[in-house]
Amino acid sequence: MSKADKKVKECIRILQQSNSDKERKDAVKELSDIGKDATEALNELMKIICGRDDFAIQGIAEETVVRIGGPAIPALKKLLKSLKRKKRSKGLNLLGEIALENQETIDKILPILKIRARRDINYRVRIDAVEIIRKLVEKNSKLPKAVELLGEVLRRDRNQFVRRKAKEALVVADSHLAVNELMKSIKRKHYPLLRFPIDPRIEAANAIGEIGQQNSQKIKEALPILLKVLDNARHPAIRISVLFPILLAAGWEKVEEVLLIIAKDRSWQVRMSALDLMGIDFLNQKPSKKQSSAIIPIVKKIAREDRFELVQDSAKNLLEMLEDI
């Protein structure tokens, strides 16, 4: 028996028999120093984590379990069966810490996170699972299964806070993987289990816009789908949501096409939003004279013929900017 094994057995004996907080704390610290070789003490450590020991002792026990790593996964999975939300959350968070510290454990832990992110009855536990996945994709950009899971949560979860966290996680994930996953959400036309104003297409479009603000080149592949949604989506809020990412991705090259689409849009809010966005210098560039000459006649027609004064005003403001070029 090695010296480390003897220390582990002695620590286990203390944790099983002693009622002294100091002795128990020292024993847990000793196990923490031993680290991975303290696997034999897992049962006692889990009793501390789930029990009523001093918070300081519990904290050291949790750190020790994380240091043990992969061998602790089965013990932590048992916590996820608890009826208590806080215990399930604690189990998830410890699994997440292990995955962040030991990359080789990600393949074992991700399926566990998937079950909780999709099926846990408590939305706070689902949020915890999504937050852990966010940390994983921030640290390791090439995790396609994790990004796919975030997309599923965005499309399926009925809780707006869970979907918002999934959207935020996709924004910080690998941009190519994230945009592909967000395009799946936008292309899907029907979400029968979700009632408007809950619509993952709006959240997906907003996420693509946030990615585009960091680097517009990264969202160009989404442009055909976004234009199709602008032309065909039933609800004005969905059509408005795709305007910003479209203009970020295409700049002034597609403004003529966008104007032709929105000029016939039945919603004055969509028409006004598009014109207002074009009038804001968020692209940090001006249209070329050739682009302006193609755009101006369409804008003049809107300013002259639109039934709504607010839309006419937006068109006139855009005209002033174009004619100054």
CA gap 120, 60 in Å, rounded: 28
Rounded to an integer, the average pLDDT of 60-74 is 92
Write down the pLDDT at residue 80: 93
CA gap 180, 258 in Å, rounded: 22
Give the model confidence (pLDDT) of 126-178 as tens digits: 999 999 999 999 998 789 999 999 999 999 898 989 999 999 999 999 989 99
Write down the pLDDT at residue 6: 84
Q: Give yes or no for residue 189 having a pLDDT over 90.
A: no
CA gap 315, 320 in Å, rounded: 9
CB under 8 Å, gap of 24 or more: what pairs does 104-108 form? 104/70, 105/69, 105/70, 105/73, 106/136, 106/140, 106/143, 108/70, 108/73
pTM of the entire predicted model? 0.86
Give the model confidence (pLDDT) of 233-265 as tens digits: 888 999 999 999 998 888 888 888 899 999 999
Rounded to an integer, the average pLDDT of 76-80 is 93
- Say if residue 127 is exposed, middle or buried (CB neighbours under 10 Å; 0-12, 13-18, 19+): buried
Q: How confident is the model at residue 287 (pLDDT cuts 50, 70, 90)?
A: confident
What's the start-to-end Cα distance of the chain, in Å? 84
CA dist list (Å): 58 to 14, 71, 145: 16, 19, 33
Q: Give yes or no for residue 192 having a pLDDT over 80.
A: no
| Under 8 Å between Cβ of 268 and 308 | yes
Q: How confident is the model at residue 288 (pLDDT cuts 50, 70, 90)?
A: confident
Sequence ranges of the domains in the chain? 254-324
| Under 8 Å between Cβ of 156 and 123 | no
> Got the DSSP string for 206-258?
HHHHHHHHH-GGGGGGGHHHHHHHHHH-SSHHHHHHTHHHHHHHHGGGGHHHH
Q: What is the mean pLDDT of the chain?
A: 89
Q: Give yes or no for residue 34 having a pLDDT over 70.
A: yes
Would you state the torsion angle of the CA atoms of residues 185, 111, 160, 245, taken in this order, to the nearest 10 degrees? -30
| Under 8 Å between Cβ of 134 and 172 | yes
Q: Give yes or no for residue 283 having a pLDDT over 70.
A: no
